[in-house]
Amino acid sequence: MYAILKHSGHQYRVAPGDRLLVDRLPADVGATVELGQVLFLNESTESGSAGAVGPKDARVTAVVVSHRRGPKLRVFTYKAKKRRRRTLGYRSDLTELRIEAVLGAADKPSRATRSAKPAVAADGTKD
């Protein structure tokens, strides 16, 4: 089973157990996060089969493994014959995620198991 999701302007193909580097998330290490919008969900292991499901009610959960920084990029600009040179640098802040589960609509817990209403006694008090 795999899913294609959209998160902070990028699209990723993820499956349970994958590790993923995304833009920095405001979550602590070890926290469970739910990732952005699911565009496609394939519940079958064979590609091109009829197991493809629409993204309605599909969810992807992940655990934050670490926060780190990306590679250092050097940007050099110049204007020819004008003696103009400028060097800039950039490093992006990243979060490493481990995909825990790709949940489809069938994996959603039923309403009865979420919460039960408290019982009301004959005299109108709650038990």
pLDDT at 58: 85
Q: 49 is in which domain, residue-wise?
A: 2-114
In-domain check, residue 123: no
pLDDT at 120: 55
In-domain check, residue 124: no
Rg of the chain taking only CA atoms, in angstroms: 23
* Strands (E) located in 24-116: 32-34, 37-42, 52-53, 59-69, 73-79, 84-90, 93-103
Q: For residue 98, give both structure tokens.
A: 């481990």
In-domain check, residue 99: yes
pLDDT at 103: 86
Please count the structural domains in the chain.
1
* C-alpha triplet 64, 60, 20: angle, nearest 5°: 45
In-domain check, residue 104: yes
In-domain check, residue 120: no
d(CA 17, CA 28): 19
One pLDDT digit (tens) per residue for the chain, 127 residues: 889 999 989 999 999 999 999 999 999 999 999 987 889 888 765 555 555 556 677 889 999 999 999 999 999 999 999 999 999 999 999 999 999 999 876 665 544 444 444 555 556 555 5
In-domain check, residue 34: yes
